[in-house]
Amino acid sequence: MTGQLDRGPARADLLQSLTGLLLVLFIWGHMMFESSILLGKDAMYWVTKMFEGEPLFGKPYPLLVSGVAAIIFSLIAVHAVLALRKFPGSLRQYRQFSAHMGAMRHADTTLWYVQVVTGFAMFFLASAHLLVVFLQPDNIGPYASSDRIWSGRFWILYALLLVAVHLHAGIGIYRLAMKWAPIPAAGSKAMRRRLRFAMWGIIVFFLGLGSASLVTYMTIGRDHADHVGERYIPSYRLNSHHAVPASE
């Protein structure tokens, strides 16, 4: 047998998995940094300024955040266009699959459908979130974010996105492991049990962490509703000689 190999299917499958892996790692990091609000407003302020490059350049450059948002959006676009290959493509296929899923009562089959639904939801939810971050990168901070979440009613978007992204990411990372990892046949059943346990543990952990952060932002936003637009001044600057009054 001779002839040129069609490398497209291999590359598409690998690239879908790789972009998925990168996005999962990103969202886990994102959750860790975002939940810095649980440690207090100063901690979240410090993280914000760190991402704006202040420790490195001496002053904040919110454009850096826009850059990251653009990169993440590109990764999502590539991941989505590759994942679309796997979506049921016609009403007939949807019916076939949902009848099959209902009859099988098989966890991993159902979890795949959960990924289809959450993936589809994120076409809209993640785009809306990323657009705001991309266009208003300077609007992130203990008060700015809380005001957006409470007074701007963005908590509705974030609550839906939180559930969608962590179900999708948790199930996705489990599927990636089953799809690629060289798990020896002898211990594959036990390994899969452990991976499933880890998957649910990760999902519950990040949903818990994300919910706690969201509620904290909502609480701060509610208390700060009369001063929307005012920016947070960290306590370490308030006490210094260079303190700038919060006059905005």
Partner 1 sequence: MKRIPLAQASRTLRLQVLRHNPRDPASEPHLQTFEVEEADSMTLFIALTEIRERQDPSLQFDFVCRAGICGSCGMIINGRPGLACRTLTKDLPQDIVLAPLPAFELIGDLSVNTGKWMRGMSERLETWVHNQGFARLDIDSLEQPMEPALAEQIYELERCIECGCCVAACGTARMHEDFVGAVGLNQVTRFRLDPRDERSDAEFYQLVGTEAGVFGCMTLLGCEDLCPKELPLATQIAFLRRRMVAAG
Nearer Cβ to partner 1 (11/227): 11
Q: Which is nearer to partner 1, 93 or 211 (CB)?
A: 93
Q: DSSP readout, 101-138?
A: HHHH--HHHHHHHHHHHHHHHHHHHHHHHHHHHHH-TT
By the rule CB under 8 A, 84 interacts with partner 1? no
Name the residue among 18, 2, 22 with its Cα closest to residue 10.
18
Please state the closest distance from residue 42 (CB atom) to partner 1, in A: 44
1 binding partner 1? (CB under 8 A): yes
By beta-carbon proximity to partner 1, the closer residue of 12 and 238 is: 12
- Look at residues 227, 228, 224 and name the one whose alpha carbon lies nearest to residue 216: 224
- The answer to the question of residue 153 lying near partner 1 (CB under 8 A) is no
158 near 149, Cβ under 8 Å? yes
Say whether residue 6 binds partner 1 (CB under 8 A): yes
CA 195, CA 97: separation in Å to the nearest integer?
25
When asked if residue 81 is in the footprint of partner 1 (CB under 8 A), the reply is: no
Residues 92-131 that bind partner 1 (CB under 8 A): 93, 96-97, 100-106, 108-109, 112
Return the residue of 125, 175, 209, 234 that touches partner 1, per CB under 8 A.
175
Q: How far apart are CA 133 and CA 124, in angstroms?
A: 14
Stretch that binds partner 1, among 52-60, 134-142, 182-190, 205-213 (CB under 8 A): 182-190
d(C-alpha 51, C-alpha 35), whole Å:
14
- Which of 49, 50, 64, 88 binds partner 1 (CB under 8 A)? It is 88
* Nearest C-alpha neighbor of 162 from the set 224, 212, 225, 216: 212
For the chain, list the strands marked E by DSSP: none
Q: How far apart are CA 166 and CA 160, in angstroms?
A: 10
| Interface with partner 1, residue 91, by CB under 8 A | no
Instruction: Tell which one of 84, 86, 124, 190 touches partner 1 (CB under 8 A).
Output: 86
- CB nearer to partner 1: pick between 97 and 120: 97
Q: Which residues bind partner 1 (CB under 8 A)?
A: 1, 3, 5-7, 9-14, 85-86, 88-89, 93, 96-97, 100-106, 108-109, 112, 175, 178-185, 188, 192
